[in-house]
């Protein structure tokens, strides 16, 4: 069989020394190629398990080692979580969705149990090396270079590599098979949300599980699944066959937590965030922020970055006064971009153009506009809707970050919340109602979803809250105030205590941040806006 035919019929894994070295890749101190050769041996040894890929062949190509194996059906757990309308709040879909998760989780645990009964340690369990097939409600295990027989190796772990975000600080104290169980618990959490990623900053796992419980309560996740994850994490020595039995006989009763966050708690939370900001300024702790820069009429306001900082200033409700030449360049850029989006969308630069830059240009133009500028601004809004918008009768309205992206964003930086703020600014500036239907459609989208993956103003929950606060202020509409309040009450779950300070976990999940875009300052800002509108005390 030729390499070309192999590539067409099977997943082909290609590991290159330089590629992984550049990303700091290692698997417990062994090289990528050595790891791949170990996987080859594991595929052969585990050939009897139907949920493990079949080994096809392997060969060298120049300095590289290539492994060809059976392509398993399904998608990884991250894609599974993001696909379709997995909303347990929907009364019409709840039963069907419960069965999907119940059967899939039972299959996952059953597969792992079968390996353990044969004394096989899987080793590295994460959202990228477990595939889920929704059609068959079954799972497959791929990337098994870490696996070994615990009896043949006297129960000692051969390699220490695991994917961060799927284990806590206690894992090294567990026997190998129990390590698998703990990782599976965090994998189950990742099937619903990304709370497991908080393990990157809080290795105790406390922040992860507190967030997951709140997420589960708000989104009415069945108690059965929350308890299953908890048992695997807190009691990894448990009997998997008994756990499977409890899943088979469980029901979709939602998980409910007692409300513990009061108005006073939010006040204390804000005070703690503010204290941390003051201390960081006193101690001159560096945090990366977008800093306003002087604008020139020679600047590129379409593909350049300078208007991103001005957008932040506008969002903070600060006065923006531009020199006449710069103002003229802003509106010339609106016209130029309209032309490009109408006539030149095959242009590589246009395809890669970040919608965050378009939003920045639009918001800047609206802030400086007169009545004569309305048609050009309206045309640019329409062009964005035509090219970047994704609209679904069940899921709502989202935006692509660029024309090449398959990702859909609800956020202030590059998604639905960002467009909502633009449409509201347009409405306030020109006193026109032409986008009112779209405004309400976006609001319906944003109020369907609870507790996104982070609290960031530009790329998370705070930006969604900000856009809804803008709507409440501009349209004098209070109907979403409870939603705003409930979501503000979840913000403490996105924070981490460090040296008696409170910091927000930024969208990377690897850093704590105080900046306006992603950290404490942005959270403080929206809490104060909510106070001014008397939504919270």
Confirm if 115 and 49 have CB atoms less than 8 A apart: yes
Point out the least confidently predicted range of 57-71, 338-352, 500-514.
57-71
pLDDT band with cut points at 50, 70 and 90 for residue 264: low
Distance, CA of 508 to CA of 194 (rounded, Å): 12
The whole-number pLDDT of residue 13 equals: 47
Element counts in the chain: helices (H) and strands (E): 20, 13
Confirm if 68 and 58 have CB atoms less than 8 A apart: yes
- pLDDT > 70? residue 159: no
Look up residue 509 and give its DSSP letter.
S
Distance, CA of 370 to CA of 393 (rounded, Å): 35
Express each pLDDT in 116-127 by its tens digit.
999 999 999 999
Q: What percent of the chain has pLDDT over 70?
A: 90
Distance, CA of 75 to CA of 129 (rounded, Å): 10
The whole-number pLDDT of residue 15 equals: 31
The whole-number pLDDT of residue 263 equals: 58
Half-sphere exposure of 435 (CA within 13 A, CB side): 26
Q: What percent of the chain has pLDDT over 90?
A: 70
Give the DSSP H or E segment for 55: strand 55-61
| CATH of segment(s) 14-70 | 3.30.200
Confirm if 199 and 164 have CB atoms less than 8 A apart: yes
Confirm if 223 and 95 have CB atoms less than 8 A apart: no
Predicted structure pTM score: 0.84
The whole-number pLDDT of residue 528 equals: 96
- pLDDT > 50? residue 7: no
Distance, CA of 240 to CA of 17 (rounded, Å): 39
Residue-wise DSSP of 354-415 = -HHHHHHHHHHHHHH--GGGHHHHHHHHHHHHHHHEEEETTTEEEE-SSTT----B-STTTS
Q: Which residues, listed in sequence order, are joined to residue 496 by a DSSP beta bridge?
A: 503
- pLDDT > 90? residue 25: no
- pLDDT > 80? residue 525: yes
Radius of gyration of the chain (CA): 26
- Per DSSP, helices labelled H in 167-262 are 176-190, 206-219, 223-234, 240-248
| CATH of 77-152+161-249 among 3.10.180.10, 1.10.510.10, 3.40.1830.10, 3.40.140.10 | 1.10.510.10
The whole-number pLDDT of residue 17 equals: 28
- pLDDT > 80? residue 306: yes
Distance, CA of 178 to CA of 196 (rounded, Å): 18
Distance, CA of 506 to CA of 503 (rounded, Å): 9
- pLDDT > 70? residue 26: no
- pLDDT > 90? residue 332: yes
The whole-number pLDDT of residue 14 equals: 38
Domain ranges, ordered by start, for the chain: 14-70, 77-152+161-249
Express each pLDDT in 238-247 by its tens digit.
999 999 999 9
The whole-number pLDDT of residue 11 equals: 45
Confirm if 251 and 501 have CB atoms less than 8 A apart: no
Sign for the CA dihedral angle at 345, 351, 357, 358 comes to positive
- pLDDT > 80? residue 271: yes
Point out the least confidently predicted range of 332-336, 373-377, 502-506.
502-506
Distance, CA of 319 to CA of 473 (rounded, Å): 18
Sign for the CA dihedral angle at 163, 164, 166, 171 comes to positive
> Cα separations (Å) of 173 from 157, 170, 234, 430?
11, 6, 13, 64
Sign for the CA dihedral angle at 105, 110, 113, 118 comes to negative
Distance, CA of 95 to CA of 136 (rounded, Å): 17
Distance, CA of 212 to CA of 194 (rounded, Å): 9
| Secondary structure of 276-301 in HEC code, one letter for each residue | HHHHHHHCCCCCCCCCCCCCCCCCCC
How would you class 518 by CB atoms within 10 Å of its CB: exposed for 0-12, middle for 13-18, buried for 19 or more?
buried
The whole-number pLDDT of residue 3 equals: 38
Question: Of the candidates 516, 497, 519, 487, which has an alpha carbon nearest to the alpha carbon of residue 506?
Answer: 519
Pairing mode, strands 501-505 and 55-61: unpaired
Q: What is the mean pLDDT of the chain?
A: 89
55 or 323, which is more confident: 323
- Over range 190-198, report the average pLDDT: 95
Distance, CA of 369 to CA of 196 (rounded, Å): 45
The whole-number pLDDT of residue 156 equals: 55
- pLDDT > 70? residue 160: no
């Amino acid at each position: 069989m030729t390499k070309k035919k192999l590539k067409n019929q099977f997943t082909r894994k290609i590991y290159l020394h330089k590629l992984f070295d550049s990303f700091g890749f290692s698997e417990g101190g062994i090289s990528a190629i050595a790891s791949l050769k170990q996987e080859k041996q594991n595929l052969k040894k585990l050939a009897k398990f139907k949920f493990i890929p079949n080994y096809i062949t392997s060969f060298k190509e120049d300095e590289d080692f290539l492994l060809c194996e059976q392509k398993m059906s399904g998608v990884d757990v991250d894609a599974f979580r993001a696909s379709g309308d997995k909303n347990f709040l929907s009364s019409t879909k709840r039963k069907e969705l419960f069965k999907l998760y119940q059967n899939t989780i039972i299959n996952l645990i059953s597969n792992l149990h079968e390996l353990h009964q044969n004394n096989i340690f899987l080793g590295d369990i994460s959202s990228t090396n477990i595939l889920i097939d929704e059609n068959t409600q079954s799972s497959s295990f791929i990337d098994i270079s870490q696996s070994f027989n615990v009896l043949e190796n006297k129960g000692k772990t051969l390699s220490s590599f695991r994917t961060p975000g799927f284990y806590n600080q206690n894992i090294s104290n567990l026997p190998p098979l129990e390590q698998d169980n703990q990782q599976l618990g965090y994998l189950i959490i990742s099937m619903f949300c990304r709370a497991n990623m908080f393990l990157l900053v809080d290795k105790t796992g406390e922040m992860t599980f507190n967030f997951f419980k709140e997420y589960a309560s708000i989104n009415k996740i069945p108690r059965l699944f929350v308890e299953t994850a908890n048992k695997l994490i807190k009691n990894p020595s448990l009997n998997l066959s008994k756990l499977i039995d409890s899943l088979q006989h469980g029901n979709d009763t939602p998980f409910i937590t007692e409300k513990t966050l009061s108005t006073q708690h939010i006040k204390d939370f804000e005070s703690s965030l503010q204290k941390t900001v003051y201390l960081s300024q006193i101690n001159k702790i560096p945090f990366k922020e977008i800093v306003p820069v002087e604008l020139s009429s020679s600047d590129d306001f379409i593909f350049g970055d300078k208007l991103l900082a001005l957008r932040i200033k506008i969002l903070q409700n600060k006065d923006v006064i531009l020199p006449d030449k710069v103002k003229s360049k802003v509106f010339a850029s609106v016209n130029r971009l309209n032309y490009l989006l109408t006539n030149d969308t095959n242009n590589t630069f246009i395809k890669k153009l970040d919608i965050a830059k378009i939003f920045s240009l639009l918001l800047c133009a609206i802030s400086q506009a007169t009545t004569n500028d309305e048609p050009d601004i309206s045309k640019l809004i329409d062009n964005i809707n035509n090219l970047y918008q994704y609209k679904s009768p069940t899921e709502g309205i989202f935006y692509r970050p660029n024309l090449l992206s398959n990702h859909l964003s609800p956020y202030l930086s590059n998604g639905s919340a960002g467009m909502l703020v633009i449409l509201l600014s347009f409405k306030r500036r020109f006193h026109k109602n032409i986008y009112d239907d779209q405004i309400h459609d976006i609001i319906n989208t944003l109020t369907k979803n609870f507790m996104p993956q982070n609290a960031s103003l530009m790329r998370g929950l705070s930006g969604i809250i900000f856009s809804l606060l803008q709507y409440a202020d501009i349209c004098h509409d209070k109907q979403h105030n409870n939603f705003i309040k409930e979501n503000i009450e979840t913000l403490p779950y996105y924070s981490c205590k460090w040296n008696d300070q409170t910091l927000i976990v930024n969208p990377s999940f690897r850093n704590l941040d105080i900046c306006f875009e992603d950290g404490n300052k942005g959270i403080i800002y929206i809490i104060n806006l909510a106070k001014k509108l008397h939504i919270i005390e």
